Amino acid sequence: MEQSPVALAHILESVRPDLEKVELEFERHLRAHVGLIPEIGAYLQASGGKRVRPAVLLMTARLCGYTGELAVLYASAVEFIHTATLIHDDMIDDSTLRRGRETVHARWGNEIGVLLGDFLYIKALALALSNDSLQVIRLLCDVTLRMIEGELYQLSKNGDVDITEEEHFDIIRRKTAYLFGGCSEIGGILGGATPDQQQALRDYGFNLGVTFQLVDDLLDLTGTEATIGKPVGGDLREGKMTLPLIHMLRQQPATREAVAGIVRDRVVDSWRWRTVSEGLAETGAVEYALARAAEYASAARRSLEVFPPGPDREALMALPDFVLARDR
């Protein structure tokens, strides 16, 4: 019988106190400003989130023997970057819900959303600059630029039902995987990891990030609004082709009319959704995408084999399995 994945709370137990410090830092840096910033900051915190990216940074720092406060500082910077990206992404996609609550721009307007996202990006870099580590600052700048490039590239492909699998993976790498890889590598830098260990950590985070995004894309097609906190099929409605859909069209071109219609009209009607759902089932597209996600999860775990066994390595080893099994 297959063993159930370890619960996230158990995986993150060793870094729980530091994750709580990250939450406090997030609140502290937003509370000290005028206008709507403290109000929106409190709203964002109440929206929840798994804080997986800062957790990866904290966990890899522990793995490499680091116990100082800089891990919390850089984890906070990463969370600011991630939050800024979500705010801007929601605006670009005109998404009105995230985690079951109104998005920032839906609640406060586009002008506030743009400015708050910009504020969070600058706040992240200001936090990083408060410690004199040029290597980490360069890394954070690099991954942030890659994320913005990824968003621009995705926009150029928006509505393109003929996007290739490789083009789709290029978007995933830029928008999601490089930030995960950067988080993991920063932990190694703090802990004085060797160049080979830093590369292993970068690979771990990168592959974990691809796994995370592939599962996220699957949930958009297979989840429920109650669990994922937004309407099912939202990606397709916004013109985004994800791996299951790309695979389905490759195997069953007859479904193209339904997919193209949803993308063109930005409406998921019952006939088209039934056609897509049947096509996904008949082509094994969900299973294909899940198998690809499992490949990246396995690659993430293999990357950690350069480190000696121990509780910190085991917690990081368990994280890809949790990501594969998540339902929200």
What pLDDT is stored for residue 1 in this prediction? 32
Dihedral angle over CA of 299, 217, 86, 39, nearest 10? -110
Structure-token pair, residue 299: 């690659």
Question: Is the Cβ–Cβ distance between 104 and 44 less than 8 Å?
Answer: yes
pLDDT in tens, 72-111: 999 999 999 999 999 999 999 888 888 789 999 999 999 9
Vertex 114 angle, CA 113 and 118, to 5°: 115
Question: Is the Cβ–Cβ distance between 181 and 172 less than 8 Å?
Answer: no
What pLDDT is stored for residue 4 in this prediction? 54
User: 107-127: string of b/e by CB count within 10 Å (b at 16+)?
Assistant: ebeeebbeebbebbbebbbeb
Structure-token pair, residue 115: 């400015």
Domain spans of the chain, in order of start:
15-325
C-alpha span between 38 and 32 (Å, rounded): 7
What pLDDT is stored for residue 131 in this prediction? 86
pLDDT in tens, 18-58: 999 999 999 888 886 677 888 898 898 888 777 999 999 99
101-102 and 97-98 as β-strands: parallel, antiparallel, unpaired?
antiparallel
Handedness of CA 38, 43, 46, 51 (dihedral sign): negative
What pLDDT is stored for residue 285 in this prediction? 97
Q: Helix, strand, coil shares of the chain as percentages rounded to 5?
A: 75, 0, 20
What pLDDT is stored for residue 32 in this prediction? 66
For the chain, list residues with pLDDT below 50. 1-3
Structure-token pair, residue 208: 């974990």
What pLDDT is stored for residue 245 in this prediction? 97
User: What CATH code would you report for 15-325?
Assistant: 1.10.600.10
